[in-house]
Chains A and B, each alone.
Chain A
C-alpha cells in the first residue's frame, strides 16, 4: 500500500495561482492534493468563500468557515487587491512564475484588469489559463449568472431527482460546482501533459462550463438518444429506479439499502428467498429474462422488500454481497466515519489546526498513487498567511516594499 508522506505528489513542480470564487474553489484543492504549490489569492479582508456556512460551532468569523477549511485545505494563501493597478502588476508577476492560473470571473472581467488569458499568455506562453464559468466563454448565455442551483437545473441534473409530486430536487453539496472543477482540472492537466510532450513548451487556454460539465451525468442517465430517436423524456420517479423496479428498500432497522439484481445472479436471489421462506411467484422461466423482469417489476420489488424487512441494513449489505447481489447501504456521514472498509483504507484524514486548537477530520483524497501519493495534511491558510513568503521570497519584494503595499491596502 501507499505509504503516506513518503514522497512528493506528482505535481510537485507545478505552481497554481488560484483566483477562483466558490464555483471553482475545488479545482485548486485537487491540484494541491497532488502536490502542486497552490497560492490562493484573496482580496484584503478575505474572500466570499470565508463567509460560506457552515461555521465552526455555528459562529461566523474569517477563520471559522468549514467551507473555507474544506476547499482551501493544502493551499497557501495571500491577500492581494487585483483591482488596484499595483495589485494587478503583482499578480502578473506571480503568473509569470506559475504554470496554471484558475479564475471564475464573468467572461471579460479579468481582461478588463489586464489579467485576461491573452494578456497573461502573451507574457508567459507556458501559462495554462483555466477559466470556469457557468456557461463557457462563448455562446448566447456566456454572460448569464449562475449559482450551483442554476447550473444544476440547466444541466438537467435536477429534473430527474425527487418524487413526481414534489418539485425537482437539487443534488446536495453543490455537484455542478464539483463537476465543473473536476472537468476543468482534467482540461488543465491535459494542457500540462501536452506542454510536456509536444516540444512547444506552450500552455493552453482551458474553458470549462458548469452547465456542460454537470449535463454529462444527465445525458448518460437520460441518454440523449431517448429523445433524438424516440421523443422520450425521462422523468423523476421517486423510488422507481432505472430498470423499472424500486431501487431503495427499507430494512428492519428502518435504515435503507440500494438493492440491484445483476443479471447473472438471479438464481442466487431466488435461493435466498426460499431460504427465508418468502412467498413469491417468480419461479417461471420468463422471470430469468431481464427484459421481462423490467416490464413486470412489481412482484420482484415486493419480494426484495419482504427480504429487506427481515434484516437490518448491515446484515443485508454483507449477506447480499456474499451472495453476489448488488446490495449497498444508504450511508450518512456518521455511517461513513464508522465504516470498516474506510477505516481500513484510512480514507478520512485528520489535519491539525493549531490556531483553532483542533484537528479537522475530513474526506481524504480520491486516489492512491503508489509512487507519488496525493495527500491532505495541511489546513487551509490563515488570511494572508503566506504574504511574506510569496511577496518576499517568490516576488523579491523587501520588507519596506511589503509594508508600503500593506499601508496602501494592496496586500
Chain B
C-alpha cells in the first residue's frame, strides 16, 4: 500500500495490537491503520464489539458486519478472533504484543489487568511498547469504573452547557461528537510517543480520559470562570467578536445559511452583496458596537434578504463579495450537493464478493496532497490465518489445536 507520490505511508512497519471496541477507540486506531500501520483488531467472542451489529444497515438487509458506523471506524484493519478467557488465548495475545509497537484499549475498569494484559505485564515481554488506555474517566480516580457513551461524555465535559440559546435545556452538540474528537487526541499522544521512542528506544504508558479530552475543547470557558468569576454565557448563534453572526432562514423547508461579519469593511461588503447600501449608511449599523446594540433589527434585515433565496445561492453570492457565509448542510448536502465533500472527502468502498458498497469519509488531512487508500473493515477473524500462521509462525498442528481448544474461534 503506497501513496502514488512514491513515498510510502508514514506508519508502514508499525504494528498495533488493538483491543479497542465500540466507536471512540476504533476511530483512533483507524487513523493509524489509514496511514500505513498494521492494526490487528483483537476481538473476543466473550466481548463482541457491539457496533459490529445494529446501526445503519443496507436496504437489502444486513450482511456480515454491515453496520455503516462499524465500517467507518475500522477501515484498513485486520481482525482476529481470540478467546481471552482461556490461558492459551491470553498467551497468543501476548505473542502478538511481543511483535507490536503499540497496544490500545478503551475498557473501563480492570479488564486488561484481569486478562494479565496490563502495562506492567506487557512491558515485561516488550520493553519498548507504547500502551494507550482511554476509558471515559481515565485509569485513576474515584470514577475509574464509571462508563458512558459519547453523549454522556459530552454532558460530563461541559460541551452541552456552553452552547444553544440560554432559555433552552442544555441539549448540546451532536450526540457522538466526543467519539470523533477523542480519537485525534489519542492519535496525537501515540504519535508523540512513537517519535520519542524513535529517538530514545523508550516506550511508555498513556492514560487518556475521554471526558478530559472533551474538556480540552472548552476554549476560554474555564479561564473565564476562574479569572473573571463568571460562567461563560450561552450565546446561541451569536458571537462576542462578530456581528452579524447567525443562521438565517432561506427558501425551502428548514433551509438555512450562516453569515459571519467582523469588521466594518466586511459589513460594507455584505451590504453591497445584498444590494442594500442603505444599510451601510444606516447609523444603527455603522460600527460594531452599534450593530451589537441593534442586533435583532440587523438580523431581521438580513433574514428578509435570505428568506426568498436558495441557501447555495446566498453562499455563492456572498462569497463572491468575500463575505464568510455557508450553507447549514444536512446529510444530503454533504453526500450529494456540497461542491467539495462528495468528490473529495467521501469514498465508496466494498469488500470482495459483496454487492453492497459503503460510503465513508477519508481522513481530513492530506500528506503531500495524498489521502491514503481505504480498505473495507474486516470480518471477525478474517485474518486469523495470516496472524497466527504467518506472523506468529504457528505450525499447522499448533494452529489447528488452538482452534480445537477454542482459544481461537
Contacts and interface: CB of A to CB of B under 8 A. Distances in A.
A217 B68 contact: no
Interface string B144-156: 0111110111111
B170 A330 contact: yes
A104 to B, nearest CB: 14
A331 B155 contact: yes
B330 A172 contact: no
Interface stretch (A155-163, A273-281, A302-310): A155-163
A371 B369 CA distance: 34
Contact of A196 (B69, B176, B198): B198
A364 B206 CA distance: 15
Contact of A206 (B137, B328, B367): B367
Looking at B171, B186, B192, the one whose CB has the most chain A CB atoms below 10 A away is B192
Nearest to B328: A153
A161 B172 contact: yes
B11 A193 contact: yes
A216 B345 CA distance: 10
Contacts of B348: 228
B240 A54 contact: yes
Nearest to B187: A186
B68 A198 contact: no
Interface in B329-366: 329-336, 338-341, 344-346, 348, 358-366
Interface stretch (A37-45, A78-86, A87-95, A134-142): A134-142
Contacts, number: 521
Contacts of B143: 321, 340-341
A391 B246 CA distance: 43
Interface string A168-179: 111111110011
A329 to B, nearest CB: 6
A263 B22 CA distance: 13
Given A11-B192, A153-B258, A344-B142, A187 B367 contact: yes
Interface in A346-371: 347-348, 358, 360-371
A10 interface: yes
A217 B195 contact: no
A146 B326 contact: yes
A9 B200 CA distance: 13
B158 A186 contact: no
A369 B171 CA distance: 33
Given A139-B344, A170-B237, A223-B56, A369 B206 contact: yes
Nearest to B238: A170
Contacts of A14: 195
7 contacts: A157-B177, A173-B219, A207-B366, A215-B334, A216-B180, A347-B212, A361-B226
B213 A226 contact: no
Sorted nearest first, the 5 A-B pairs with minimum C-beta distance are A194-B10, A172-B162, A187-B365, A172-B163, A212-B364
A19 interface: no
A410 interface: no
Looking at A138, A159, A361, the one whose CB has the most chain B CB atoms below 10 A away is A159
Nearest to B145: A321
B93 to A, nearest CB: 22
Given A161-B163, A190-B10, A197-B13, A208 B222 contact: no
B334 A189 contact: no
A161 B181 contact: no
Interface stretch (B76-84, B227-235, B271-279): B227-235
A372 interface: yes
Contact of A333 (B198, B225, B335): B225
Interface stretch (A107-115, A230-238, A381-389, A400-408): A230-238
A4 interface: no
B163 A171 contact: yes
Nearest to B143: A341
A358 B7 CA distance: 50
A362 B212 CA distance: 12
Contact of B7 (A200, A370, A371): A200
A141 B236 CA distance: 27
A10 B327 contact: no
B229 to A, nearest CB: 9
How many chain B residues sit at the interface, stated as a range, is 35 or more
Interface stretch (B317-325, B389-397, B400-408): B317-325
A337 B221 CA distance: 11
A193 B191 contact: yes
A319 B116 CA distance: 30
A98 interface: no
Contacts of B159: 171-173
Contacts of B231: 332-334
B56 A56 contact: no
B224 interface: yes
B171 A163 contact: yes
Interface in A176-205: 178-179, 182-187, 189-194, 196-198, 200, 202, 204-205
Nearest to A180: B364
A198 B225 contact: no
A198 B156 contact: no
Interface string B278-291: 00000000000000
Looking at B212, B322, B369, the one whose CB has the most chain A CB atoms below 10 A away is B212
Contacts of B199: 13, 196
Contact of A215 (B240, B249, B358, B361): B361
Contacts of A150: 258, 260, 324-326
Interface string B187-202: 1110111111011001
B256 A224 contact: no
Contacts of B220: 54, 66-67, 70, 173
Contact of A223 (B50, B69, B216, B368): B69
Given A147-B260, A158-B258, A186-B191, A153 B329 contact: yes
A241 interface: yes
A182 B188 contact: yes
A394 interface: no
A151 interface: yes
Given A179-B364, A220-B176, 5 more contacts: A230-B59, A258-B151, A290-B54, A333-B232, A367-B206
